[in-house]
Structures are given as C-alpha cells and as structure tokens.
Amino acid sequence: MPIGIRPRLNICHMYPDLLNLYGDRGNIMAYRMRCLWREIEVTIHQVNIGDSVDFERMDFIFLGGGSDREQNLMAADLVEKSGALQAAIEDGVPLLAICGGYQLLGKYYKTLAGDVIPGLGLLDLYTEGGETRLIGNVAVEVDLGGVTQRITGFENHSGRTHLGRLDPLGKVLAGHGNNGRDGMEGARYKNVICSYLHGPMLPKNPFITDYLIACAVKRKWSIPLKPLNDSIEMSATNVMLKRLLGN
C-alpha cells in the first residue's frame, strides 16, 4: 500500500431497509468503529431490493434476518444475486449471516406444515420449522484462528438448523443453538460465519469482529491489526457468562 494513503474497506450491508430489527445493525456499527479506531477507513454500501452490487469488490458482507414478510421479499431479490454471491464466498470474501440470513444461505427451509421453501443452496445445511421458539441468552465456545473464546448473545428462532459437511461456529455452553439437540451453534465455511446470535453479535464479541476484519485486511495488504482496549466489551460478556455458567 502506498505510504500516506489510509487503507479502506468496503462494507456491504444487505437490505438495511427490510432487515432493520433485532438490533442487528449493531454488527455494522461494531465493524465500522473497530476499523476507524485502527485508522482503517470504511465505506458502507447499503444494498436494497433491486440495487446492483459487485460482491467481489466487497471486504465484508452482512446479511441479517427479519420478520417473515420481509424475509420473503429479500429472498426473492437475493436469488437473482446468488451466483455472484457464491463466487464471492468461494473467493474468500468475509460474510456474516445472522438468523434468517443464515437459514437462507442453506438448501431449504421446511415449514411445520411440510412446505419446502428453497434456500440459495450456497452452504450445506437445511432448516426445519419447530413447534416452539428457541428463545434466550446463549453462551458458545468458539475456536477461531487458533484462539478459543466464549461468546454470548440472544437467540430467538423457531427453525432448527442441521449442518451437512460444515463446521459449526462453536459448541453451546448454555442455550439452544442450531437446533436445541446437537449442542452446536452456527456454521463456518471459508470466511463465512453464520449464527443465530442476536445481541447483536459483533459489538459484544470483538474477537469475532476482529477475525472478520483481519480476514479482509489479509486479502489486500500485509498489515497487522492494532490491538484495542476491550475492557467494556469483556465486562459485558463476563456478566452474562457468569449468569449463564456461574463462573
């Protein structure tokens, strides 16, 4: 990188107009602030229905969830972009998908009534509707880039997600996770991270945010990430870990 020019990352916020609930925009805020604190500039590209986007140019893609109606609208639009999105994922573009966005990247969602709603089929996973909603605070042990950490969040989903040949994001220490049965939470593929954790996830768990930023930086330049003071983040996580796990 030429001296004197600040590095700049392109953030792609998918459907902010539609998927504006559950505080998930906090993920964008956290990514952006943690870049700015390191003197990395960011440009946020908001992609709404009908907008065109060049995923390959992006350094971070965020896909959240919404209520049923909004999710159907977004799915219809995203199907048309699915080829380009797949190429970007295969190419190693970092992506975070939460809740509905996570489900949509999979093969299908089978409702309680037995209807099968096709997903984008970009990841080897599927979801089935459940009788009850899985709701509550969650603690997960995550192993990322050789570091193991405990993260926290809040889940609220009725879908039960099952992974094919995919690694989970982590192991459930408290809460339900993907399906309430196999003790797994989220999924990973290349530089994609999927999770049911709202809260939102990135502000509370800077270790994941920094992993995603580092992935993006590594693809462009060879600069190390400056460590930040995370004492407020840590104490927020520790309060919840203590409540859920007692230590």
Partner 1 sequence: MRKARLFMALFAAKILVFIIKILGRGKGTALPGRVALKIYPGLISDLSSRIGKGVIVVTGTNGKTTTNNMIARILEAGGCRVLINREGANLITGIATAFAREMDFLNSRAFDYACLEVDEAAFPGVASRVRPRCVVITNFFRDQLDRYGELDRTIALVRNALKEMEGIRLVLNADDPLVAQMGRSTGLQSVFYGVAEHGGVTSQGAAAREAKFCPFCGHELAYRYYQYSQLGAYGCPGCGFSRPDPDVEGTSPRRGGSFTQCRVRFRQGSSVSLEVPVYGMYNLYNALAAYSTALLLDMDPQRAAVFLKGYRPATGRMERFDYRGKQVYLNLVKNPTGFNEGIGALVEMSDGGLDVMIAINDNDADGRDISWLWDVDFEILADCQDRINFVCSGLRAEEMALRLKYAGIQEFRLMVESDFNEAVSRVLNGGAGKACILSTYTALWPVERILSGYANRDQTPAEYLPHVS
Interacting residues toward partner 1 by CB under 8 A: 16-18, 20-26, 29-30, 33, 67-69, 133, 135-137, 154, 156, 198-200, 203-204, 229, 232-233, 235-236, 238-239
Nearer to partner 1, 52 or 132 (CB): 132
Q: Which of 12, 201 has the CB closer to partner 1? A: 201
Residue 99 catalytic? yes
Catalytic residue among 12, 99, 194, 215: 99
Give the residue carrying structure tokens 């309060």. Answer: 239
The Cα–Cα gap between 105 and 8 comes to 27
- For helices 25-36 and 206-220, the axis angle rounded to 10 degrees is 60
The residue among 57 and 242 lying less far from partner 1, judged by its C-beta, is: 242
> For residue 203, how many other CB atoms are within 10 A of its CB?
19
Residues 166/195, Cβ–Cβ less than 8 Å: no
- C-alpha to C-alpha distances, 196 to 33, 59, 127, 145, 218, nearest whole angstrom: 23, 22, 12, 21, 27
Closer of 133 and 181 to partner 1 (Cβ): 133
Among 41, 179, 28, CA closest to 96: 28
Please state, in angstroms and as integers, the Cα–Cα distance from residue 165 to each residue in 106, 128, 174, 189, following that order.
12, 17, 24, 10
Q: How far is the CB of 203 from partner 1 (least distance, A)?
A: 5
| Active-site annotation holder among 35, 157, 198, 215 | 198
For the beta carbon of residue 38, count every other beta carbon within 10 angstroms. Answer: 17
Sheet containing 95-98: order of strands: 41-47, 8-14, 60-63, 95-98, 192-195, 187-189
Min CB(18)–partner 1 separation in Å? 8
Taking the least distance from each CB to partner 1, the nearer of 21 and 147 is 21
Given CA atoms 76, 45, 16, 216 in this order, what sign does their dihedral have?
positive
Q: How far is the CB of 92 from partner 1 (least distance, A)?
A: 27
Q: Smaller CB distance to partner 1: residue 55 or 102? A: 102
Annotation marks residue 194 as catalytic: no
- Supply the residues annotated as catalytic: 99, 198
